[in-house]
Amino acid sequence: MKYGKRLYAFCGLILLSGIAGSVMVMGKPKTDNVSIVRDGEVLYELDLAKEEDRMIEIEYEGNRNIVEIKDHQIRVSDAGCPDKCCAKMGWLNSSVPIVCLPNHLVIRYSDRNDESTIDAEAY
């Protein structure tokens, strides 16, 4: 009985670490390369590992996005769009891109070793 319980706990642990592992793989891409893209056009290619803390101002038809790079992370710190969803998304920390629909702005991880798949994406 004891052995059975332990085995059960052991299997649970393996299962949990497996789930945690796949979440991590799904979560943050293994790259520090970030692209800032508008309508399929790459405005900035950034290597967050090498980037100094700075602000990038991107304007689109009178609306502005203030992109902040801090401690090798990137986010939209302020935006001139009505919903400010992009600013509310916080730091880019997964393969889910930061998107500003009104300003046609996408901030996402890019893998330079995998450019063919990026090109294949329909934008």
Least Cβ distance, residue 43 to Zn ion (angstroms): 15
Size of the site for Zn ion (CB under 5 A): 4
Minimum Å distance from CB 92 to Zn ion? 14
Cβ proximity to Zn ion: between 67 and 79 the closer is 79
For 52, which DSSP code? P
User: Minimum Å distance from CB 74 to Zn ion?
Assistant: 15
Q: Is 79 among the residues that bind Zn ion (CB under 5 A)?
A: yes
The number of residues in the chain equals: 123
Residue 67 structure tokens = 């992109």
Strands 33-38 and 73-79, how do they pair?
Answer: unpaired
Q: Is 107 exposed, middle or buried (0-12, 13-18, 19+ CB in 10 A)?
A: buried
Alpha-helical segments (H) within 28-81: none
Contact call for residue 106 and Zn ion (CB under 5 A): no
- Decide if residue 81 touches Zn ion (CB under 5 A): yes
Applying CB under 5 A, the residues found at the interface with Zn ion are: 79, 81, 86, 100
